[in-house]
Amino acid sequence: MNKIIEKKLTIILLAIIAYFLFSISGSLKESAKYDSDLRACAKMKAYLNDKELSNLFKEEAAFTTEVEVKYVIEYCKKLTQQNLF
């Protein structure tokens, strides 16, 4: 009888641990995407005064953030404003 209870308890504890691990994994993925987007926006803003490099880094930021090129500047503005608070 004790072995059955131990097995059920073990299964329940393993399920709880797995749930928390998947939860942490999802959170880390979101955090990595956010950091990647911020990095791409920072590169784009660093070369904003140079016409040739500006277009190149704008396209790179659009590719990284998965936002259209014409909207990437607005996306970066919102992202950096969100980061300030």
Break the chain into its structural domains and give their ranges.
2-84
Q: Are 53 and 44 in contact (CB under 8 A)?
A: no
Environment class of 16 (CB within 10 Å of its CB; exposed 0-12, middle 13-18, buried 19+): exposed
How far apart, in whole angstroms, are the C-alpha atoms of residue 78 and residue 58?
16
pLDDT confidence bin for 4, thresholds 50/70/90: confident
pTM of model > 0.75: no
Q: Mean of the per-residue pLDDT values for the chain?
A: 87
Instruction: State the amino acid at position 35 in one-letter form.
Output: D
Which residue is it, tokens 């926006």?
41
Tens-place pLDDT, residues 42-59: 888 888 888 888 888 888
Tens-place pLDDT, residues 18-32: 999 999 998 999 889
